Structure 1
Amino acid sequence: MTATQNPSAQTAAVAPPSQVRTILVLGAMVALGPLTIDMYLPALPRIADDLGVSSSVAQLTLTGTLAGLAVGQLIVGPLSDSLGRRRPLMAGIVLHMLASVLCLFAPNIEVLSVARGLQGMGAAAAMVVAVAIVGDLFDDSEAATAMSRLMLVLGVAPIVAPSLGAAVLLKASWHWVFAVLIVLAGVLLLVAALALPETLPRAQRLPLRVRSIGSTYLTLLCDLRFVILVLVGALGMAGLFAYIAGAAFVLQGRHGLDQQTFALVFGAGAIAFVAATQFNVVLLRRFSPQRILVGALAAATVIGAVFIAVSVTHTGGVYGFLIPVWGVLAMMGFVIPNAPAVALSRHHEAAGTAAALLGAAQFSVGAVIAPVVGLMGNNEIALSVVMTGGVAIALLALLAVGTGEEAVEH
C-alpha cells in the first residue's frame, strides 16, 4: 500500500513534496534519541572519575536517558493522536534543549541523571512522532521499506555521535558534549518547523481524555499478536542496548582503545547495522517481514552462542569480541525495521499510541539492560550473555505465535 493509497493519507489530503525528503526529515527526528544516547559514551569513564562514582553508577545516567525515552513515548504517543503530530514534536525538542542546559551545568551524578531522564523524554517526542507518521502514510511491507530507509538516516547517528563526543573531549570537559546537543536539537527544531507536514487530520484525532487514552492502550494490549510483536522488537533491541552500555568499558578499559579509536570501532558496528537495514529492502521484494524476522533472530541466536563461547575462552582478543558483536548488530538491522512495521500495520487508527508502546517497550528493556551489564562486570562475558539472551527470547516469543503471515494478520 502506498502513501496515497492509505486511507489516513487520503483523508489528510497530505501529499509530501518529496517522499525522499519526508524520510530524511523523519530520520533526522529519530536520530535525536541515538545522538542523545551515544554522543557522551566516550565520556562515561571520565564522568565516573570526575564525579567520584563507580562505572556502574555512571551507567545509571544512561539508564535515566532510556527511562525518559520510554516514559516520554507513552505520554507523547496519545498526545500526538489527539493534538496532531507537530505540536507534541516541537514541545519535546524544546524540553530536550532545556534538559541539555541542565546537563551542561550538572554538579553531581544525581543532577546529571535527572537531567538525562528529561533529555530522554524530550527526544521521545521526536522518535514516537516520526514512527507514527510512518504509520499514517504507509502499510505493512511499504511501512517496513520506509522504516528501513529511515534506519539508513538513523544509522548515521551512532557513527557520528561518538566521534563528535570524542572530538569535544579533546578540547573541553565532558560537560560541553551537552552544549553541542543543544545546538543540534535547535537545528532539528528548525527543520521540523519548516519541512515536516501534519499527517493526522482533525477528523481522525482521538479525544484527549484519560478514559479514552486508557481505552486505546487497553485495546492494543488485548491484541495478542501486537503485544508479541512489541515484545519481539523490545527483546531484539536488548542486544543493541547491552552493546551501548558496555562497549566503552570493554574496548577502552580491557582492550586499551583510545577515545578516537573507540569511536571508529563503534561506528563500524553502526555500519553493519545500517547495511543490513538497506539489504532488508531487497529481501522484502521476495519475503514477508515476518519471515525475515524469524531468520534474522535465528541467525543472531547462533552468532550469539559463538560469542559466548569466544568470550568464556578469551579467544581472538579484540577481534574475537568485535566480529560476533557486529554479526548480532547486523541481524538487528533486519529485526528493528520489520517488527514495528508489522505491528503498526495492525492499528492505523491509533498509530501514535501504538508507536508509543513500541518505543516504550524498547527503551524500558534498555533501561533495565544498561545496569545489568555493569553489575555483571562490564566485560565480554556479560555482553555476550545479555545480547544472546535478548535475541533468543525474542525468537522464542515469535515462534510461539507462528512464523507465517497468518501469525500477524487480523
Structure 2
Amino acid sequence: MSAQQSTQAYSTAWIMLLALLTSLGPLSIDMYLPALPQMAQDFEVSTQMVANTLPAYFLGLALGQLIYGPLSDRIGRKAPLYLGLTLYVLASLLCVFVSNEWSLIAARIVQAVGGCVGVVIARAAIRDRLDMQASAQAFASMMIVMGIAPIIAPSLGAMILKFFSWQAVFVILAVVGLVCLLCVHFFFKESLPHERRLKLNIGQVLRLYITIFRDQSFRWPMLAGCFSGGVLFCYISSSAAVLMDDYGLTQQQFGYAFGLNAFGIMLLSTLNKRLAQHFSVMHRLKMGGILQLIGATILLVSGLMATSPLWLVFIGMFLAVSGIGFTGPNAMALAMSEQGARAGTASAIMGSMQFACGLLGGILLNFLIWSSLLNMSIVMLIFVAITLLTIMKLSLNQAQYESS
C-alpha cells in the first residue's frame, strides 16, 4: 500500500466513527463505577462483590470477539455491527430490570458479547486500509478521540446518580448503543471487498486461530499489548474500592480522579503521535512499558506503607494507566501489520486475549488477602513484568531478523 493510499484512507471523520464504536467498551465499563457502592447496598453485598460484574463483562468481551473476528472476515465488516449493536441495546435494557448481583453478572456478559463488535471491526477496518506506520498513527488518533469516553463516563454516571437510581445508567447506555447502530447504518462504509473475504467453516476458523497465534510477528506484540492493557483493567476493577471505600472520595470526586487518569491516556497517545517522526514503533512501545513499571512500583510502595498519601497513589495510578497511550497503539500496529485479509480474526484474538487478561486480573484480585491498594499494585506489577518480557522477546526477534 502506498503512502498516498494510506493518506486518502485516513480521515478524521472515519477515525471518529471508529472511535465511537470502540467507546462502547469504556462507557459500559466506566459509567456505572460510581454506582457500585449504591448497587452493593441495594443487593446487600460488598462493593467488591458487585465489582465482579467488571470481570464478567471482560469475559463477555473475550468470548464475543472470538465470534465476530472470523465472522467479519467471512461476511464483511458491516453486517456483524448490526448484529452486535442490536444485542448490546437489548442487553443494556435487560440490566435495568435485574434483581440481584448474579442476574446483573449474566446480563453484563450478554451486553459485552454485543458491545465488543465495535472494537473488533474498528481494528480490522484500520488494517484493511492502512499500512503499519499509518495504522500506528490511526490507532493513536482513535485512542485520543475514544479517550474522551472514560474521562466523562464516571462524572456522567455520578451526575445521573444525583437525580436517578443506578438503573438509569443502563438506560443511557442503551441509547448510546442505538446511536451507534444508526451511525453504522448511515455512515459506515464496508472496508473488506468481496474478493478479499475468507470462506471459512468452523474447522478452518480453529486452524486459522492456531496459525495466527503461532505467527511470532503477531504473538509477541499481541501479548505485550494484552498484559499492558491488563494493567488498566486492574485499575478499573479496584479503583472504586481504593478511592471511594479506602480514601473516602465522593462519587463526583471519584469521577474527576478517574477522568484524570483517562486524560493521561489521551495525553500520551497525542505524544506518541508526535514522537512518530523521531522514534520507531518499537522504541515507543518500550517507553510505555517503562512508564507503567514506574507507576506500578509507586503503587506497590504506597500499598506497603502504613498510611500512604493520596497524592502518591494518584501519581502511581496516572503513570501505570497513561502508559497505555504508548503501549496500546504501537503493540496493536505491530501485531496487525502482517495479517492482511485475516485482520478480523487477528483482531478478535488480540481483543479476546486482552479482556481475558482483564478477567484474570479480576480473579487474582479476589484471591489476594491484603488491602485493595496493595492487591491492585501486585497484580499490576505482575502484568507489567510480563509486558516487558514480551517486549524484550519481540525486540530480540526483530534484531535477529534484521541481521539475517
Give the TM-score normalised by the residue count of structure 2.
0.95
1:365 and 2:357 are equivalent in the alignment: yes
Aligned to 2:393: 400
Structure 1 residues 325-374: Cα deviation after superposition (integer angstroms, max 9, x where no partner): 10112211100111011110111120100100110010011012124224
- In structure 1, what residue type is equivalent to 2:79? R
Q: Name the SS of the counterpart of 1:321 in structure 2.
A: helix
Question: Quick one: distance in 1 between partners of 2:301 and 2:388?
Answer: 20
When residues 408 and 237 of structure 1 are mapped into structure 2, their CA distance, relative to the original with a 3 A threshold, is farther
Between the aligned partners of 1:268 and 1:402, the Cα distance in structure 2 is 32
- SS of the residue 2:19 aligns to: helix
CA deviation profile, 1:20-73 (whole Å, cap 9, x unmatched)? 100000000000111111111111111122112233321221111111111100
What is the aligned-residue RMSD (CA, Å)? 2.0
Change beyond 3 A, Cα 1:141–1:385: same
Alpha-carbon distance, 1:5 to partner: 3.6
| 1:20 equivalent in structure 2 | 12
In structure 2, how many angstroms separate the alpha carbons of the residues matched to 1:143 and 1:358? Answer: 15
Aligned residues: 402
- Worse overlay, 304-313 or 167-176: 304-313
Determine helix, strand or coil for the equivalent of 2:279.
Answer: coil
- Which of 138, 155, 165 aligns to 1:173? It is 165
Displacement of 1:272 in angstroms is 0.8
Unpaired segments ≥5 residues, structure 1: 10-14
The one-letter amino acid paired with 2:49 is: V
Conserved 8 A contact 2:294-2:319: no
Equivalent-residue separation in structure 2 for 1:132 and 1:408 (angstroms): 26
Runs of 5+ unmatched residues, structure 2 = none
Counterparts of 2:387 and 2:88 in 1: how far apart (Å)?
A: 31
Q: Counterpart in 1 of 2:383?
A: 390
**In structure 1, distance between residues paired with 2:290 and 2:78:** 39
Q: Say whether the 8 Å CA contact 2:64–2:116 is kept in structure 1.
A: yes
In the alignment, structure 1 residue 119 sits paired with structure 2 residue 111:
yes
Change over 3 Å in CA distance of 1:408–1:155 after alignment to 2? farther
Following superposition of structure 1 onto structure 2, how do residues 124-273 of structure 1 map, counting pairs within 5 Å?
Answer: 124-273=116-265
Quote the Cα distance in structure 1 between the aligned partners of 2:401 and 2:267: 26
Are the aligned partners of 1:297 and 1:331 in contact in 2 as well (CA < 8 Å)?
A: yes
Q: What's the counterpart of residue 319 of structure 2? A: 327
Secondary structure (helix, strand or coil) at the match of 1:402 reads helix
Structure 2 counterpart of 1:66, from 39, 43, 58: 58
Q: 1-side partners of 2:194 and 2:58: how far apart? A: 32
CA distance 1:296–1:403, shift in 2 (3 Å): farther
Residue in 2 that maps onto 1:99:
91
C-alpha displacement of 1:233: 0.8
Using the size of structure 1 for normalisation, the TM-score is 0.93
Cα distance in 2 between the residues matched to 1:253 and 1:108: 21
Q: What CA distance in whole angstroms lies between the structure 2 residues aligned with 1:225 and 1:315?
A: 45
Equivalent residue letter for 2:85: I
CA contact (8 A) 2:217 2:334 kept: no
Question: Do the aligned residues in 2 keep the contact of 1:2 with 1:142 (CA within 8 Å)?
Answer: no
